[in-house]
């Protein structure tokens, strides 16, 4: 019998594949980083996109992960298997870690329900912050978190790495060039294997919902690539056929109105078969008045316009790295690709959209 991979094992496998692909691309890109000095990084929580931190620390010797806090002692013990983390001090209480150690940047990952409070605590200590998503689980938490960041005037980023993928950056360049005309309709998809999920993801109170958890990636990407603002949302969500996932929704459909009276749609599910070759299947389609540009993993980026037949776009930009871009923005005059205003705005959109689904109404955004 073939053993079913746990969610953590699946994510490790996926992260390894992504890391290998990005490493190969990075060799071609050979990014210059003279502006980044020695940087001491603290990590709070070992859930989510921690590979975004690891890959930059692996590539840049001046980026040092010096301490890690996580309430799960088994997870902490497993960090010793990662050569990047072997010298890092470990703590089960993040406050004790912040009291004991000096950091230049803190990565706030971990479980969703803990994030807003930890980000606020780091802001009080005047620490630069890169946070997992969602930033908060309700609008009141989001407002308090935003206030703490703005009052402390500390740099912040959120782990939305899809902006840095070459195919999406190429799509944005096409839209900005005007080749497809004015953007009218945006369609997107996120489909994942369910796998085995930790208990905190099975509770609405600690998870927050599929829309803010994975929808935030694609909402941000649709806005960034499509260049339009979202003005209203209607959504449906449920769990059908997956009682083992508890209160976690395994299917979602959202319709957005755009600021030019166009529309956008996002469908999400945790229904990807275990036999699928990849853990996820992300898709994005931007339709304009003069053409369409779209991305699917199976075929890459394609473009067709009123004046040209469909073609596959091969001239993709080099891979970039979110965390490296954030560090460079801190230590130079360069602007980070994700601004604080964009972080708070996309967080607001997904929370209002989730609330619209729960309350069966159309939400003004």
169 three-class SS:
helix
Query: DSSP letter at 240?
Result: -
Q: Phi/psi class of residue 106: alpha, beta or left (left: φ > 0; alpha: ψ in -120 to 50)?
A: beta
36: nearest Cα among 128, 174, 152, 138 = 128
Task: Report helix angle 166-177 to 216-226, nearest 10.
Answer: 30
In the numeric block, which tokens belong to residue 151?
A: 């009052």
The sheet that has 128-131: what strands, in order across it?
89-91, 63-69, 39-44, 105-108, 128-131, 156-158
CB atoms within 10 A of CB 304: 15
pLDDT score for 205:
97
pLDDT at 5 over 50: no
Residues 6 or more apart whose CB falls under 8 angstroms from that of 24 comprise: none
Distance in angstroms (rounded) separating the CA atoms of residues 342 and 157: 10
Q: What share of the chain is helix, strand, coil (3-state, %, to 5)?
A: 40, 25, 35
- Could you tell me whether strands 89-91 and 63-69 are parallel, antiparallel, or unpaired per DSSP bridges? parallel
- Write down the CATH superfamily of domain 162-318+339-364: Dihydrodipicolinate Reductase; domain 2 (3.30.360.10)
Across the range 115-135, mean pLDDT stands at 98
Q: What pLDDT score does 134 carry?
A: 96
Query: Using one digit for the tens of pLDDT, what is the confidence trace for 35-67?
Result: 899 999 999 999 888 999 999 999 999 999 999
Phi, psi of 163 (to 5 degrees): -60, -25
Average pLDDT value over all residues in the chain: 91
Q: How does residue 22 score in pLDDT terms, banded at 50, 70 and 90?
A: very low
**CA pair distance 76, 193, nearest whole angstrom:** 26
- Same topology between domain 7-161 and domain 162-318+339-364: no
CATH architecture of 7-161: 3-Layer(aba) Sandwich (3.40)
Task: Write out pLDDT tens, residues 272-319.
Answer: 999 999 999 999 999 999 999 999 988 999 999 999 999 999 999 999
Q: How far apart are CA 202 and CA 129, in angstroms?
A: 27
Question: What is d(CA 120, CA 326) in angstroms, rounded to the nearest whole number?
Answer: 19
Residue 363's Cβ-side half-sphere holds a number of Cα atoms within 13 Å equal to 22
Q: How far apart are CA 29 and CA 70, in angstroms?
A: 34
**219 touches 244 (CB < 8 A):** no
What confidence category does residue 151 fall into, taking pLDDT thresholds of 50, 70 and 90? very high
Q: Where are the domains of the chain?
A: 7-161, 162-318+339-364
């Amino acid at each position: 019998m073939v053993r079913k991979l746990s969610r953590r094992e699946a994510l490790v496998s996926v992260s390894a594949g992504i890391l290998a692909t990005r490493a190969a691309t990075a060799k071609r890109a050979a990014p210059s980083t003279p502006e980044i000095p020695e940087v001491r990084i603290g990590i709070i929580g070992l859930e989510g996109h921690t590979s975004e931190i690891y890959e930059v620390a692996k590539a840049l010797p001046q980026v040092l992960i010096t301490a890690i806090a996580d309430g799960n002692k088994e997870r902490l013990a497993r960090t010793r298997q990662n050569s990047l983390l072997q010298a890092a001090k470990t703590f089960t209480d993040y406050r004790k870690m912040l009291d004991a150690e000096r950091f230049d940047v803190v990565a706030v990952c971990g479980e969703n329900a803990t994030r807003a409070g930890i980000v606020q605590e780091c802001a009080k200590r005047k620490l630069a912050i890169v946070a997992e998503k969602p930033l908060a689980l309700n609008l009141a938490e989001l407002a308090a978190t935003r206030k703490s960041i703005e009052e402390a005037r500390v740099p912040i980023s959120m782990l939305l790495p899809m902006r840095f993928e070459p195919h999406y950056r190429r799509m944005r360049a096409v839209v900005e060039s005007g080749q497809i005309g004015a953007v009218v309709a945006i369609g997107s998809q996120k489909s994942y294997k369910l796998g085995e999920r930790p208990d905190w993801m099975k509770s609405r109170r600690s998870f927050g919902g599929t829309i803010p958890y994975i929808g935030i990636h694609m909402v941000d990407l649709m806005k960034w690539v499509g260049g339009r603002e979202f003005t209203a949302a209607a959504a449906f969500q449920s769990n059908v056929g997956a009682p083992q996932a508890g209160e976690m929704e395994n299917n979602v459909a959202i319709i957005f109105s755009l600021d030019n009276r166009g529309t956008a749609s996002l469908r999400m599910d945790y229904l990807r078969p275990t036999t699928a070759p990849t853990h996820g299947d992300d898709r994005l389609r931007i339709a304009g008045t003069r053409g369409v540009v779209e991305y699917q993993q199976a075929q890459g980026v394609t473009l067709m316009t009123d004046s040209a037949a469909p073609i596959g776009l091969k001239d993709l930009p080099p891979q970039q790295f979110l965390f490296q871009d954030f560090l460079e923005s801190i230590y130079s005059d360069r602007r980070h690709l994700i601004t604080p205003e964009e972080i708070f705005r996309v967080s607001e959109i997904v929370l209002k959209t989730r609330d619209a689904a729960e309350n069966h109404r159309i939400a003004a955004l």
